Amino acid sequence: MDPRSGFCKSNSVFYSKRNPTPLPPNQYLDVTTFISSKAHHGKVAFIDAATGRHVTFSEHWRAVDSVASCLSDMGIRKGHVILLLSPNSILFPIVCFAVMSLGAVITTTNPLNTHREIAMQIADSKPVLVSL
């Protein structure tokens, strides 16, 4: 493995140059529960560079719960695919984590993509909901 890039020529895989992080013993623990279980004590989670607006971890998780509740009320369930058509935004992670917390799948695309590119992604992923 190349120590500068992490690339391994023998299998064409990039490996992290960081030490492995031990995973929790519960193999059924989902990513949103794992990340939200960490104590962040009101620290800022996201900052919008253009506006300076920020979201703390506690605000983020409250918003995730709210969006997940709305999605659930709309009938979104495990295995459903949700397409998020959005530019980069401080709200982007909220929607992603809300979808994942329901066991649904998030696929993302940017409005700067061509109509053809977006149509191909819709055809490939077959979303049950498109969020703008």
Q: Domain segments of the chain: what residues? A: 30-131
| Mean pLDDT, the chain, whole residue set | 90
According to DSSP, the β-strands at 81-85 and 7-8 are unpaired
List the one residue out of 30, 19, 23 whose CA is nearest residue 101: 30
Q: What is the largest CA-CA distance in the chain?
A: 49
pTM: 0.74
CATH class of the domain comprising 30-131? alpha beta
Cα–Cα distance between 81 and 90 in angstroms, integer?
Answer: 22
Give 36-70 pLDDT, tens digit per residue: 777 777 788 899 988 999 999 889 999 999 999 99
Cα–Cα distance between 132 and 120 in angstroms, integer?
Answer: 17
- The pLDDT-based confidence of 129 (bands split at 50, 70, 90) is very high
The residue behind tokens 């962040």 is: 40
Give 16-45 pLDDT, tens digit per residue: 988 887 777 887 777 777 777 777 777 888
